[in-house]
Amino acid sequence: MNRMTSFGDLLGPQPVLLPEISDVEDLLLDSADPVRAAADHPAASIAWAHLAEAALARGEALPEPVNHDVVAAYAFARTGYHRGLDLLRRNGWKGFGPVPWSHEPNRGFLRCVGVLARAAKAIGETDEYARCLDLLEDCDPRAAAELGIE
């Protein structure tokens, strides 16, 4: 029997759907401090994504393109990216294949990859920027657009 993945690839791996980390997600939805959420739940990419996005927004508002906040965003995003890779691998991901944006628990990881791409571009790390775009494309072709990345 031929089975098609939800991404239309007959032979490709099934999409990875990460488990919910509801306690962290609930904290962040209740406007909890993302620093506290990351410190209390360091394995949760979503907490790192909140930190990275806030730092990048602050950094982009400054006149100099490379600044403390952009570098902090890069570091926060890289941490969330690596914690997300760990969780993806524990859930069957082999380093490639679908990680759908439509599945809410996947978004912490994908958001970290998006901020990592934008921060890498801002500091002139073009190879890392390209790798992040490729990863987003491999995970979900819609992810970059959802994250506002060209």
Contact 70, 55 (CB under 8 A): yes
Confidence (pLDDT) at 72: 98
- SS3 string of 68-112? HHHHHHHHHHHHHHHHHHHHHHHCCCCCCCCCCCCCHHHHHHHHH
Confidence (pLDDT) at 112: 98
Q: Please state the pTM of the whole predicted model.
A: 0.91
Report the SS3 class of residue 33: coil
* The Cα angle at residue 101 between residues 113 and 25, in degrees rounded to 5: 80
What digits encode the pLDDT tens for the residues 21-31? 888 988 898 88
Confidence (pLDDT) at 11: 79
Residues in the chain: 150
Report the mean per-residue pLDDT for the chain: 93
What digits encode the pLDDT tens for the residues 48-85? 999 999 999 999 999 999 999 999 999 999 999 999 99
